[in-house]
Structures are given as structure tokens and as C-alpha cells.
Structure 1
Amino acid sequence: MRWRKTDLQQYVQAKEYIDTILLPLVPIQLSNDEEADKYSSQAEVIASLANGIEKELTGRTMLVPNYHYLKSADKTTEVQRLNNWAADMKEQPFSHIIYITFDSTWKKQEKALTENLLWMPAVQSGEINSKEMQRIIRDQVSQTVDLIRSFW
């Protein structure tokens, strides 16, 4: 399920089965052209990855909109915001909230997060629509789905 009206209507009717939130963490940095290019590329890849995970785990997960933050932002503040988001999501019967990111700086904050963080090394090369990139994403989806299932 995704964050759209039709899926949310289905969710309301099937809450007891959908127990996991997927929340991609996506940095933004427009002040540096090279960084902006890198992060926009990563945003495309993580969107494709998150969509693949949601598709594989349909009926058990909800993919919510990306959490965007300035790359240079104070992570302590961002951790507080994410923990507040998680508390709100826990008001529904979500047992698992999983943050997925390519940003390794979140690993330093992992203990302060109230929910699970999945950090993956970012794929730095290739066109998102190339066969090679799609193969890499499929492989990451498969490995990530197996890891998420271990949380259940």
C-alpha cells in the first residue's frame, strides 16, 4: 500500500494485516551542484527501491511519502522529528516502522531512533532506467525484503 487515497481506504478496512511502515529518508542539498546531482540521483534510486519493497510485501506494508531533510541539518533535531512521526504512526496498529536510507550519517544516530534503520550503500553510477541499474535494484529489493521479514 502507498500513501494515496484508494490505498488508505483499503488500509482502513484491513488494518490488522498491515503492520509495517516503510519510510525513505532522503537528503537534499541544493547549495552545491555536485551534491545536488548526487542526492537527486540517490532519491530516484531509493524511490525505485522502496517501490520494489512495497510491491514484494504488499498486504503487510505501507510506503509513506519520503522524509526530506537538508543534508547539513542537525541530525539531533531530525531524530526528534522522526521519533515524533513514529509515535504518531504507532497510534495506528503499526508494529514496525522501517527507515531506509543511503545516507550513512544516520548510522551515528541509530541508537537515538525509536524505530529500525536500514542503511544501504548508495549505487553511484548508472542511469536509473538501464538494465544494469534495474538488476542492481532488484537484487537490493530481494535482500532488503529478506531482512524486513526477519523483523516479523
Structure 2
Amino acid sequence: MKWNKENLKQYVQAKEYVDTIVLPLMPFHLSQNAELEKSAFQREVLSIFLTEIEQELTGRIMLTPDYNYLKSTDKTTEVERINAWIEEITTQPFEHIFLITFDSTWKKHEESLNGHLLWLPGIQSGDLHSKEMHTFIHGQVEQISELIQSYW
């Protein structure tokens, strides 16, 4: 389920079946010109990836709005903010919380997060519409879907 009016209406009626939240962690920055294109590309890839995960696991997961943060910010402060989000999320009957990102700097703070961090090695560039990219994304979706299901 996505974070939209129609899906949330369905969620309220079937919340006992939707036990998993996926929270995308999306970095943002404008200060490093050399990194802008790569960062935007990774955001697009992650968005496609999350859409496919949501479709693959429909009925069990809720995809939250993106958690946006400045790439240069202190992660300790961000951990506190993310954990506040997670505290709000757990007011509903969600048993499993997954945070997903291409940003490897989160790995250093993984133990402080009140959820399971899924770090995906970042794709630097490519053609989002190519067959190779779709094959790669589909392969990643299958692996992450299996990982999430292993927690059920």
C-alpha cells in the first residue's frame, strides 16, 4: 500500500493484515555539483524499486512517504528524528519496520535505529529505461522481498 487516500482507506479496513512498514531514507543536497546527477539518479532508481516492492508485497506492507534529510547533516540528530517517526508508526499495529536507502553512511548508525536498515549498494548511473536496468531492479526486488518475508 502506498501513502495515498485510496490505499489508506483500504488500510484502515484491513490493518490487521498490514504488518510491515517500509520507510525510504532519501538524501538531499545541492552543495556538491559533481554529485547532483548521481544523487538524483539514485533517488529515481529507489523510487522505481520501492514501487515494485510495494506491488510485490501488496496486502502486507505500507510504503511511507520518503524521509528526506540533508546528506551533510549529523546522522545522530537524524537517528533521533527517524526514531520519532518510528514511534509514531508503531502506534498502529505494525510489527516490522524496514528503512531502505542507497546511502551507506547509515550503516554506522544501524544499531541506533528502531527498525531494520536495508542498505542497497548504489547504482552510479545508467538508463532507467534500459532492459538491463529493469532486469537489475527486478533481481534486487526479488532478493529484498525474500528478505522482508523472512521476518514474517
Give the alignment's TM-score, normalised by structure 1: 0.98
Give yes or no for contact 2:41–2:125 (8 Å, CA) kept in 1.
no
- Residue 29 (structure 1) shift: 1.2
Corresponding position of 1:108: 108
Q: Answer whether contact 1:29 1:71 (CA < 8 A) is retained.
A: yes
Corresponding position of 2:119: 119
Q: Which amino acid aligns with 1:118?
A: L
Post-superposition offset of 1:54: 0.7
Note if contact 1:126-1:132 (Cα within 8 Å) is conserved in structure 2: no
Which runs of 4 or more aligned residues in structure 1 lie more than 6 Å from their structure 2 counterparts after TM superposition? none
1:35 alignment partner in structure 2: 35
Counterpart residue identity of residue 147, structure 1:
L
Unmatched segments (≥5 aa) in structure 1? none
User: What CA deviation, in whole Å up to 9, does each residue of 1:100-132 have, x standing for no partner?
Assistant: 001000000001001110001011131111111
Please state whether the residue corresponding to 2:16 is helix, strand or coil: helix
Aligned residue pairs total 152
- Paired-residue identity, %: 56
Deviations 1:30-84 (A, max 9, x none): 1112212111110000011111111000000011111111100000000000000
One-letter amino acid of the counterpart of residue 6, structure 1: E
Instruction: State the one-letter code of the partner of 1:3.
Output: W
Q: Is the 8 A contact 2:2 2:64 kept in 1?
A: yes
What is the one-letter code of the residue matched to 2:2? Answer: R
**Residue aligning to 2:138:** 138
- Give RMSD over aligned pairs: 0.7
Q: Which residue of 2 aligns with 1:72?
A: 72
